Structure formats: structure tokens, C-alpha cells
Amino acid sequence: MTQGKRVLVTGAGGFIGHHLTSRLVADGYRVRGVDIKYPEYEPTRAQSFEILDLRRWSDCLQATREIDEVYNLAANMGGIGFIETNKAEITRDNSLINLHMLEAARVNQVSRFLFTSSACVYPGYRQDSPDVTPLAEEHAYPADAEDGYGWEKLFAERLCRHYTEDYGLETRVVRFHNIFGPLGTYDGGREKSPAAFCRKIAMAADNDSIEVWGDGKQTRSYCYIDDCIEGICRLMRSDHGEPLNLGQDRLISVDELVDMVAVAADKSIKKEYDTSKPQGVRGRNSDNSRLRSVLGWVPQTSLERGIEITYRWIREQLEARGDATR
């Protein structure tokens, strides 16, 4: 029964948290949203929204009061440029949030707790080629997570396991693989690559060049936001307590991603490579075998369709500022 169930979404002012809040309200939940900021691009649909700093223990206790389930999405994060240059800040802030939120959930007798992890937990030695073998959940060990952000995520995954084993708090852990879509950050330094390329191409004229970090040969898989939200909801209702990948399993290069955005924009775009900039691992892809087995479902939205929708939204934002070029 969802009707009347009291749920907390932390990070509800952010991209995924805002979309998740809207879905849970539509599904009949009573949603409390919490963040250090309100959603940037449209009002929250949460029945209540509180501005709290979840690095603080007292704020976590306040956030979790009279709550049945927690969707813990709050995190200090961004694209590769941000996470490569802010490791101490990210590790400190996110570790405090996750430690305090799990303990507050226990103290306030929350029944189920979802932690949003990341593909950054996977070892670098498995991602050193663009032709990467898809990463299955068990490949996280022996551990060699991405420095900073990846290690704090992996630590929090283990903490979820211990809270289940020692205190009986039901936990769910989802590992995101490059989630993108409208209502997400597209400038300012924290944006992910799909949004960055949509912004750059929307601002470029036909036959212009845009900057690409790295040599364009690095590979990734990208998952559209609607599929991400569907996967979260299905996992939270399942009996699966171990970490689970959530992403597409279609591997493409950064060059191919740029070309796909250019098609959505109906522009001819050239690339200028900067190999001095952060570019992350050489290849990363999701193995969705367990996702399919556990949830009986995999992401459905094609990358082309997701990019088309995202590009159109970002172009509209830039047009409103007078920054887009036809």
C-alpha cells in the first residue's frame, strides 16, 4: 500500500531527487523533501519541503521524524571536472550525510532506507580500455574505487549492509550509471557530459567547433532520467538488499555522444580535443543481467530519444537567456 505512506526524499532540490519526488507524489505517497536548496527550474511537488543541512546530526534527526521510508539522494557532487578537483570536500560532506542519515533512520525507526551509490565504486583496473567489459555488481571487489567520490560511495554501501545486519534496518543500494535528462544542471562546472555537450552545441553556430575533454575515444553508457526513476521505485518495492546497477548497457564513445547531440540540434559540429582536462576512466558500461533478473525490467528509453528531449530543454533555457544559436 502506497496510499498515505510517509516518505522522505533527501536531495529533493537536485536533479534526480526532484524527478523522484514528483513520481512519488503522483503514486500517492506523502512526501517530505529536504535539501539545502529548492529545485532550480520548477517548484517542488512535495507536500512539504524543508531546508536542512544533512551534514548536521540534528538536521538528520529532524528530517527523518515520523517517516516510514527514506530515499537518500543527498550528495555533494558534479561532473568529472568537479569530482576530480574537490575530493576532500566531497568525501567529507557525503560521508557525514550518509553516516548521520543511516543513524537517524535507525533512531527514528524508519522501516526502509534507499542509498544512491554510483558506478564510480568500480575498480579502475577494470576500466582501462574503451572496449570495456560490462561491470557486474560483484566486480566492485577487490576494491579500487574512483578516488574520493567512489570510495565514499563504496564505504556507504558497506555501512548499509552493517545497519541491516546489526540493527535490522532494511536497506536498498542502487548504483547509478550516468543519469541525464531535463531539469538537470547544464552549466556552472557541475554538469555531466550529456548536458555539457547539449549546452555547447546549443550555443554554437552551424559548422562551429566545440571543446571535448580527452581524445573523444573514452566510452560510457547513459541512462535517461525517467528510466532511473522507474528503476528506483521498482528496487524500493523489491526484496533485493544487495547493490544493483541502474543504467543502460549500450556503450558509446564521447565522440559518438557529441555527434548524437549535433543530430538532435540539426547542426554540423567539429571537435577540438583537450587532453589536459579530466576525462575519467577509459571505458565504463553497466552489466544489466542482475537488474533484469531482480526487477524483470531494464531501461526502455533510447539514447537518441533521451538526448533529443534533453537538448530541446537545455536549448529553451539558453534561449530564454539569449545564449542559444540557431
Catalytic residues: 149
What region does 188 belong to: left with phi over 0, alpha with psi -120 to 50, or beta?
left
Q: How many residues does the chain have?
A: 326
> Residue 258 in contact with residue 216, Cβ under 8 Å?
yes
Phi, psi of 72 (to 5 degrees): -95, 95
Nearest to 171 by CA among 235, 231, 233: 235
Question: How much is the CA Rg of the chain, to the nearest whole Å?
Answer: 19
Helices (H), the chain: 15-26, 57-63, 80-85, 87-107, 149-167, 193-203, 225-237, 254-265, 289-295, 303-321
What is the Cα–Cα distance from 213 to 221, expressed in whole angstroms? 17
In this structure, the strands spanning 69-72 and 112-118 are: parallel
251 to each of 31, 43, 102, 135, 302, how far by Cα in Å? Answer: 35, 35, 34, 12, 12
Nearest to 99 by CA among 143, 60, 151: 60
> Residue 13 in contact with residue 184, Cβ under 8 Å?
no
What region does 205 belong to: left with phi over 0, alpha with psi -120 to 50, or beta?
beta
> Residue 13 in contact with residue 35, Cβ under 8 Å?
yes
